[in-house]
A and B are shown apart, each in its own frame.
Chain A
Amino acid sequence: MSSEVTPTSKPVKTTGLHIGEAEPGCRKVDPILIADGVTRTFGGLKAVDVDHVEIPRGAITALIGPNGAGKTTFFNLLTGFDKPDTGKWEFDGRSLAHVPAYRVARMGLIRTFQLTKALGLLSVLDNMKLGAKDQSGENLFRAMFPFLWRKQEEEIESKAVELLTRFKLDAKQTDYAASLSGGQRKLLEMARALMSDPTLVMLDEPMAGVNPALTQSLLDHILDLKSQGMTVLFVEHDMHMVRHIADWVVVMAEGRIVAEGDPYTVMENPAVIDAYLGAHHDSDLGVTDTEHVEAIKELIDDEQ
Chain B
Amino acid sequence: MIDWIQIFSNAAQELISPTTAAYALAALGLAIHFGYTGLLNFGQAGFMALGAYGYAISVLSFGLPVWAAILVGIGASVVFALILGIPTLRLRADYLAIVTIAAAEILRLIFTTNTFEAITGSAQGLNGYKGSFAALNPIPKGTYGFGPFQYNEYDWWLRILGWTVVVLLALLTWLIMRSPWGRVIKGIREDEDAVRALGKNVYSYKMQSLILGGVYGTLAGMIFILPRAVVPANYQTSLTFFVYAILLLGGAATILGPIVGSMIFWVLLSFFSGFISRAVEAGWLPFMTQVQAGQLRFILVGVAIMLIVIFRPQGIFGNKKELAFVK
Contacts and interface: CB of A to CB of B under 8 A. Distances in A.
Interface of A: 79, 81, 100-103, 105-106, 110-113, 117-122, 126-127, 129-131, 133, 135-140, 143-144, 146, 149, 153, 176, 178-179, 192-193, 195-196
B181 A102 contact: no
Interface size grouping (class) on chain B: 20 to 34
Contacts of B310: none
Closest 4 CB pairs of A and B: A137-B180, A105-B199, A117-B194, A143-B181
Interface in B174-212: 175-176, 179-184, 186-187, 189-191, 193-202, 208, 212
Interface of B: 172, 175-176, 179-184, 186-187, 189-191, 193-202, 208, 212, 321-322, 324-325
Contacts of A103: 199
B198 A121 contact: no
Contact of A121 (B179, B181, B193, B325): B325
Given A113-B193, A113-B197, A117-B193, A122 B180 contact: no
A139 B193 CA distance: 20
B190 A137 contact: no
Most buried by A among B179, B184, B321: B179
B198 A192 contact: yes
B273 to A, nearest CB: 38
A122 B183 contact: yes
B319 to A, nearest CB: 9
A130 B321 CA distance: 21
21 contacts: A101-B196, A105-B196, A105-B197, A106-B199, A118-B194, A119-B190, A126-B186, A126-B187, A129-B183, A130-B200, A135-B180, A137-B180, A138-B183, A139-B181, A144-B176, A153-B180, A179-B325, A192-B198, A195-B198, A196-B198, A196-B199
A129 B180 contact: yes
A137 B178 CA distance: 10
A31 B65 CA distance: 64
Contacts of B198: 105, 110, 130-131, 133, 192-193, 195-196
B180 A121 contact: no
B184 A120 contact: no
Given A81-B193, A122-B183, A138-B200, 14 more contacts: A81-B196, A110-B197, A110-B198, A110-B199, A111-B197, A119-B190, A119-B191, A122-B190, A126-B187, A129-B180, A130-B183, A143-B176, A143-B182, A153-B180
A146 B322 CA distance: 26
Given A140-B208, A143-B180, A121 B322 contact: yes
Contacts of B208: 140
A192 B191 CA distance: 14
B179 A79 contact: no
A36 B321 CA distance: 49
A241 to B, nearest CB: 23
Contacts of B195: 119, 130
A127 B74 CA distance: 34
A144 B172 contact: yes
Contacts of A112: 197
B180 A146 contact: no
Given A117-B191, A120-B325, A121-B190, A146 B179 contact: yes
Contact of B181 (A119, A137, A179, A196): A137
Contacts of A192: 198
B191 A137 contact: no
A89 B201 CA distance: 22
Nearest to B184: A138
A140 B206 CA distance: 12
B179 A143 contact: yes
A43 to B, nearest CB: 20
Contacts of B176: 140, 143-144
B175 A122 contact: no
Contacts of A101: 196-197
A135 B187 CA distance: 15
A61 to B, nearest CB: 19
Nearest to A178: B325
Contacts of A81: 193, 196-197
A108 B322 CA distance: 33
B202 A102 contact: yes
Contacts of A100: 201
Contacts of B189: 121
A145 B107 CA distance: 36
A138 B197 contact: no
A102 B201 CA distance: 6
B184 A130 contact: yes
Given A138-B181, A143-B175, A121 B201 contact: no
Given A113-B197, A119-B191, A143-B181, A176 B202 contact: no
A196 B197 CA distance: 11
B168 to A, nearest CB: 12
Nearest to A116: B194
A138 B199 contact: no
Nearest to A106: B199
A140 B322 CA distance: 26
Nearest to B211: A140
Nearest to A179: B325
Nearest to B172: A144
A293 to B, nearest CB: 41
B160 to A, nearest CB: 24
A111 B196 CA distance: 10
Nearest to B186: A122
A130 B325 contact: no
A121 B321 CA distance: 9
B169 to A, nearest CB: 12
